[in-house]
Structure 1
Amino acid sequence: MPLQRFLITTALLLSALWGGFLGSLHLTGSAGFLDRMEASLTDIRSVLIGGKSPPPAVAIIAIDDRTAASHGFPIDRATLARAITAVAASKPKTIALDLLLLDPGTEEGDVALASALSLVPSVIAAAAVFPESKQMVTSDPNDPLSGIPVADSLLLPLKRFSDIAATGVVNVATDETGVPRFIPLISRSAGRVDPSFPLRAASLALDRDPAFQPGSISFADRHIPTDTGQRLPLTFYGPRRTIPTFSLMDALDGKVPADAIENRVVVIGATVTAGGDVFPTPFDPVLPGVEVISTAIAHLIAGDSIVRDHNIRRLDATVAVLLPLALVGLIAWRRSLIGFVLIALVFVVWATINLAMFKAGYWLSAALPVAAALPPVLIFGAAQLLLGRRQVRHFAAQSELLQRIEAPGLGEWLARDPSFLAEPVRQDAAVVFIDLSGFTGLSEAVGAVTVREVLSGFFEIADQEARAHGGAITSFMGDGAMILFGLPHPAEDDASRAAACALALADRMRSWLDSHTALQGGRKIGFKIGAHCGAVVASRLGTGDRQQITATGDTVNVASRLMEVAASRGAEVAFSAALVRAASAGTGPPLPAGPLEGPLETKIRGRSGSIDVWLWRCAG
């Protein structure tokens, strides 16, 4: 028990430390090794919840395969200018051009595009260039720009366009599986800070400049939580074209309904197959990049982005500590079926809450609690299993020891029914006593080693013969033993088996003593056996965990006194006539008639009357 308590206490402490360690990494956004697991679990949750209708905030004009077939790709800027002019006629709030205008085109085309962009508030794309696909950042809760990686350079549009339209950075942040999970709302490079393309478009559409605080941005009274590094978490509305999408060819031909554009942000970008600007998402393996950007713009305008801010991360860190504590506690409390059911129930409740929160718009981590709980549970479970095996081995050793003292059938019965003989039981049984003669004098004359060897040989013979005949050695008494036949239940052959056991003991003991005269130190020792049957009271003696199964009553006393009869008459075994009759009438083998003498009427010490006794002497 002290080892078990130490193991439980240590497991709980280490579980809390492990969960706290992972939680602290998660708070700073440093637990990137969990990204792949979190990505898979996020996709599962998204699919389980299903898609939803996007808010009426954004429409897409796609430079698709049909447009490329008619006008080539990249599309010339004069054609693009005509499409923007047609869209502007339907009075959108903003036109967001998701194209990099880095190099000059024809003068006529550039002039036309600049003129078209001036018709309506517009934003055009820039791109940040980083030295590696992953960026290491530090987080400072007091610095709203902390956690934002610094780009090596920016790919900026031509000045003639950026003088007319606002500029925003179109980079997205993907996870280990390539799914765009976040939009960085701020990009940094040497000497400058730039807003993202979606943030610029939403700011123009709302006619509000964003205000930044640690973990959030605000448009006047509109508050939008952000994750570490001022990143906007993305959840997708559905597969491609879930956000209303129209071909640029339809815009050129005037076939786009005006109400699909009016008072919306119109994002113009490429979806052409050869463009390669696609991302895997839970609902679509090749969602066009322009729809990813449009999703972020819709989130900012409608305020329907999923919440994953510092408060959510603190809640994740708390769960990362409490969940493993709960599971380890349940394993320590109950290792039965009930315990495993409770552990499964905790997981189900946690998963249900996690899914419900995700559906409600709160992104609780699924990977962090699993990573925090699984190692402690597996390690503690393995330790408990090893400890259990150790206990099993201990109990097996104790059982083996019990079997060496109790008859096999009785030991098995005790294992099946631990309450056996918790209350005394009166029943018929046969009792055999055996005792060494002259052993007290031998003990005084020889050393302890010799005494031990003699007793060991005696006990081994008594144990083997008791087992062989189905008896139970209820006690070893110094140089004697009491063997009981009739437990756990009396049987018709109890008397015959007791008689057979007594005779086998006589033969074994005689031969063993004759062959080990050296152990007797020149002194002659012998043995005497008494056997009787009748009613006994079988019970457990002792208290607490120190108990012994035994039998008491007149039958036991008579069997014990019959050893004196055998010794006084120069016989090896003294049987009561009652036992001889029962053995002869029972189902066991009959007693051999030759060496038996009797019946002899004999006085028994401690009894007022006499009984008939049969004696057994060595035939030689």
Structure 2
Amino acid sequence: MSGRRLQAIVGVVLAGLWGAFLAAPHLRGEPWLLDRMEATTVDLRTVLRGVREPPSTLLIVAIDDEMATQEGAYPISRATLARIVDAVAALGPKVVALDILLLDPGEEDGDRALAASLARNRSLVAAAAVFGEQRQNAPPASGSAFDGVPVADALVLPLDRFAEAAAVGVVNVATDSSGSPRLAPLIFRSGERVEASFALQAASLALDAAPVFEDGSVAIGDRVVRTDLGQRLPISYYGPRGTIATVGAAAVLAGRLTEEQVAGKIVVIGATVIGSGDVYPTPFDAVLPGVEVVSTAIAHLTGGGGMVRDQRTRLADAVIAVLLPMSVVALLAWRRSLLGLAALALLATLWLAAETILFAQGIWLSAALPIAATVPPAMLFGASQIWLDRRRAQRFAQQNALLRRFQAPALRDWLARNPDFLAIPVRQEASIVFIDLSGFTGFSEIAAAGVMRDLLDDFYRLVEQEAEPRKGIITSFMGDGAMIVFGLPRPTPDDPANALACATALARRSRDWLAGQPAAQAASIGIKLGAHCGSIVASRLGGGSQQTITATGDTVNVASRLMEVAARNGAELALSGELYRAAGQNPLEGGTLQGPAETAIRGRSGMMTVWFWRCG
């Protein structure tokens, strides 16, 4: 298995394990650091969804600033509350729900009047649960439908005269880390006592049915509402303050409330006066009165429009939290493919669209959990791949820099653009120059290794400096000599002239270079060159793992043998008549050209026309 594939597999597995680690507390409903992120995404999705029409079965009677001003004090008296209840009850509501805590005795006449008003009607009063910690406690799971319901340290109930006159419901809601109520618990425990929430009691009275709980749902008559862990009802706000139909209590007492507004509805009486303290931040409003929050929960239970968030949606969240990061990491591992990048963008778009659409349809899937599960693994995997790619790039650059030294620049660049160059041998015209240090073999027997290395380095550098500017390709350094081809990768009309100019320049520079060596070296080493042009076979030679590009054929053999002819005739360079004619018979400076002469070439029948060039 390749290293890259192994890295991808490890990355995918670790991403899935990270997602599973984050999903475990989410499945248990444990609040933690992701709550604030989730609150932000819920607010955003709620605003994107927009304002919705609330059910018409609900009316809020607000004890507002006008009522407080008219009363001359806040809270208003129990006697005034009794008048409000009677005015509302006279118009035929299904339920009158008083979202006000009646914990302490007031004036006897007012308390008596309010208790009587409540007793005459189907009514509901508020209680409160007291928790010793910042969040509502939940007992360990026991396999019943009441697993995880909030356990209060104490329940604060209304005065007995009010509790006997009306049903009682706990008004507490569960807020997230942003302070916004997201869940309305339907059941509360305190010791052996179990109390229904204010919203659940209001819905039960309105629908004239006792609630029946099952794991993840509550049934009230024909209505079945899915609930979150601990029988908590997810709250989905219809809009900003006043979205649920609201009238002021002063207008009720003034007789401006009509039967059409009240008949057959649940009427919730609660405080909206500034400074009451019973306000919460919501996606649409920074200060939504608590009576509107609890009315929203009642509307969900009786008329719909709530959110679905239960064990099944949490399980879906967990599956997404595992699969999404694994998919993203897998697609990042497929990063060299445009199809992979397109699939990654498509996956992110589909997930965001699905989250938004499902939320608008009332299904609350977590957005924070998949984001938290996906972003860190994706960033870490992407960063590790960038780091590894840079390491590979540096290593490849080093290897390339090293390999570049073993191939002529022009031929190297050509191979980079044409990797199949000379995969099939090609016969073409070329000019060949051979250069060799005569006497070097004997010198190497007595010279130190360092001296020979330095001498050959200087010699090879000299050859490169003269060959490369004239488009000559050094196909090989052969110990104390070199073969230079003019015509690779493609032949040109200037190849013979360039070959001749290179050969004479090498002869002159080699003579000067040898003259600058120590006397012992200069006396034992000479220079000889041979140059010829004609047809060659250019090809790749070698096995599958190591190949070299070279030229073979009679032209190459003749150029090599001409070095012997040069040495035999006391010249630095012997060039064929064919090369001299092809080069244009240009006069050569810096030396003496002699010829033509007819000479035999070792290993070749017949005579050949040769010119000799000696340094001046």
The reply to whether TM is greater than 0.5 is yes
- 2:62 aligned with 1:65: no
> Which whole-Å CA distance do the structure 1 matches of 2:285 and 2:425 have between them?
77
**Cα gap change, 1:149/1:444 in structure 2, threshold over 3 Å: closer, same or farther?**
farther
The answer on whether the counterparts of 2:507 and 2:573 sit within 8 Å (CA) in structure 1 is yes
**Cα gap change, 1:523/1:374 in structure 2, threshold over 3 Å: closer, same or farther?**
farther
1:64-83 equivalences in 2 (<5 Å)? 64-72=64-72, 73-83=74-84
Look up the match of 2:210: 209
> Which whole-Å CA distance do the structure 2 matches of 1:420 and 1:203 have between them?
86
**Cα gap change, 1:459/1:196 in structure 2, threshold over 3 Å: closer, same or farther?**
farther
**Cα gap change, 1:584/1:222 in structure 2, threshold over 3 Å: closer, same or farther?**
same
1:438-453 equivalences in 2 (<5 Å)? 438-440=439-441
Deviations 1:332-359 (A, max 9, x none): 1233444322211110011112222212
Task: State the SS of the aligned residue for 1:274.
Answer: coil
**Cα gap change, 1:491/1:360 in structure 2, threshold over 3 Å: closer, same or farther?**
same
The answer on whether the counterparts of 1:407 and 1:466 sit within 8 Å (CA) in structure 2 is no
Deviations 1:486-515 (A, max 9, x none): 334444443343334334444554555566
The answer on whether the counterparts of 2:207 and 2:221 sit within 8 Å (CA) in structure 1 is no
592-601 vs 174-183, which deviates more?
A: 592-601
1:454-469 equivalences in 2 (<5 Å)? 455-469=456-470
The answer on whether the counterparts of 2:235 and 2:306 sit within 8 Å (CA) in structure 1 is yes
The answer on whether the counterparts of 2:508 and 2:590 sit within 8 Å (CA) in structure 1 is no
Look up the match of 1:25: 25
- 2:589 aligned with 1:592: yes
Look up the match of 1:433: 434
> Which whole-Å CA distance do the structure 1 matches of 2:424 and 2:361 have between them?
63
The answer on whether the counterparts of 2:79 and 2:114 sit within 8 Å (CA) in structure 1 is yes
1:163-178 equivalences in 2 (<5 Å)? 163-178=164-179
Deviation at 1:161, TM superposition (A): 0.7
The answer on whether the counterparts of 1:84 and 1:116 sit within 8 Å (CA) in structure 2 is yes
Specify every segment of 5 or more residues in structure 1 that has no aligned partner in the other structure, as ranges: none
> Which whole-Å CA distance do the structure 2 matches of 1:518 and 1:196 have between them?
112
Deviation at 1:198, TM superposition (A): 0.9
Look up the match of 1:559: 559
Look up the match of 1:484: 485
Task: State the SS of the aligned residue for 2:165.
Answer: coil
The answer on whether the counterparts of 1:222 and 1:303 sit within 8 Å (CA) in structure 2 is no
> Which whole-Å CA distance do the structure 1 matches of 2:534 and 2:32 have between them?
81
Deviation at 1:389, TM superposition (A): 1.4
Deviation at 1:155, TM superposition (A): 2.7
Task: State the SS of the aligned residue for 1:603.
Answer: strand
81-90 vs 592-601, which deviates more?
A: 592-601
**Cα gap change, 1:396/1:290 in structure 2, threshold over 3 Å: closer, same or farther?**
same
Code of the residue aligned with 1:314 in structure 2: it is L
**Cα gap change, 1:470/1:213 in structure 2, threshold over 3 Å: closer, same or farther?**
same
Deviation at 1:535, TM superposition (A): 4.0
**Cα gap change, 1:219/1:440 in structure 2, threshold over 3 Å: closer, same or farther?**
farther
> Which whole-Å CA distance do the structure 1 matches of 2:402 and 2:471 have between them?
17
1:247-396 equivalences in 2 (<5 Å)? 247-396=248-397
The answer on whether the counterparts of 1:454 and 1:519 sit within 8 Å (CA) in structure 2 is no
Look up the match of 1:531: 531
Deviation at 1:539, TM superposition (A): 3.8
> Which whole-Å CA distance do the structure 2 matches of 1:152 and 1:351 have between them?
41
The answer on whether the counterparts of 2:139 and 2:151 sit within 8 Å (CA) in structure 1 is no
**Cα gap change, 1:555/1:338 in structure 2, threshold over 3 Å: closer, same or farther?**
farther
Task: State the SS of the aligned residue for 2:275.
Answer: helix
> Which whole-Å CA distance do the structure 2 matches of 1:396 and 1:3 have between them?
19
The answer on whether the counterparts of 2:137 and 2:152 sit within 8 Å (CA) in structure 1 is no
The answer on whether the counterparts of 1:404 and 1:463 sit within 8 Å (CA) in structure 2 is no
**Cα gap change, 1:423/1:250 in structure 2, threshold over 3 Å: closer, same or farther?**
farther
> Which whole-Å CA distance do the structure 1 matches of 2:261 and 2:141 have between them?
43
| TM-score (normalizing by structure 1) | 0.90
Task: State the SS of the aligned residue for 1:118.
Answer: helix
**Cα gap change, 1:487/1:280 in structure 2, threshold over 3 Å: closer, same or farther?**
farther
**Cα gap change, 1:438/1:25 in structure 2, threshold over 3 Å: closer, same or farther?**
farther
Code of the residue aligned with 1:227 in structure 2: it is D
Code of the residue aligned with 2:63 in structure 1: it is I
**Cα gap change, 1:403/1:232 in structure 2, threshold over 3 Å: closer, same or farther?**
same
Task: State the SS of the aligned residue for 1:267.
Answer: strand
Task: State the SS of the aligned residue for 1:86.
Answer: helix
The answer on whether the counterparts of 1:63 and 1:271 sit within 8 Å (CA) in structure 2 is yes
Task: State the SS of the aligned residue for 1:483.
Answer: strand
Task: State the SS of the aligned residue for 1:75.
Answer: coil
Question: What number of residue pairs does the alignment pair up?
Answer: 615
The answer on whether the counterparts of 1:405 and 1:474 sit within 8 Å (CA) in structure 2 is no
| TM-score (normalizing by structure 2) | 0.91
**Cα gap change, 1:11/1:161 in structure 2, threshold over 3 Å: closer, same or farther?**
same
Code of the residue aligned with 2:266 in structure 1: it is V
Task: State the SS of the aligned residue for 1:163.
Answer: helix
Look up the match of 2:574: 574
The answer on whether the counterparts of 2:54 and 2:305 sit within 8 Å (CA) in structure 1 is no
Which of residues 607, 613, 617 in structure 1 aligns to 2:610? 613
Task: State the SS of the aligned residue for 1:371.
Answer: helix
> Which whole-Å CA distance do the structure 1 matches of 2:473 and 2:221 have between them?
91
> Which whole-Å CA distance do the structure 1 matches of 2:525 and 2:472 have between them?
25
98-107 vs 454-463, which deviates more?
A: 454-463
The answer on whether the counterparts of 2:150 and 2:187 sit within 8 Å (CA) in structure 1 is no
**Cα gap change, 1:576/1:396 in structure 2, threshold over 3 Å: closer, same or farther?**
farther
The answer on whether the counterparts of 2:574 and 2:613 sit within 8 Å (CA) in structure 1 is yes
> Which whole-Å CA distance do the structure 2 matches of 1:89 and 1:519 have between them?
131
Code of the residue aligned with 1:128 in structure 2: it is A
Look up the match of 1:122: 123
Task: State the SS of the aligned residue for 1:263.
Answer: coil
Task: State the SS of the aligned residue for 1:549.
Answer: strand
506-515 vs 79-88, which deviates more?
A: 506-515
1:238-253 equivalences in 2 (<5 Å)? 238-253=239-254
The Cα RMSD (Å) is: 2.9
> Which whole-Å CA distance do the structure 2 matches of 1:539 and 1:493 have between them?
22
> Which whole-Å CA distance do the structure 2 matches of 1:228 and 1:253 have between them?
45
> Which whole-Å CA distance do the structure 1 matches of 2:301 and 2:292 have between them?
14
Deviation at 1:111, TM superposition (A): 1.0
238-247 vs 334-343, which deviates more?
A: 334-343
> Which whole-Å CA distance do the structure 2 matches of 1:502 and 1:139 have between them?
95
Code of the residue aligned with 1:205 in structure 2: it is A
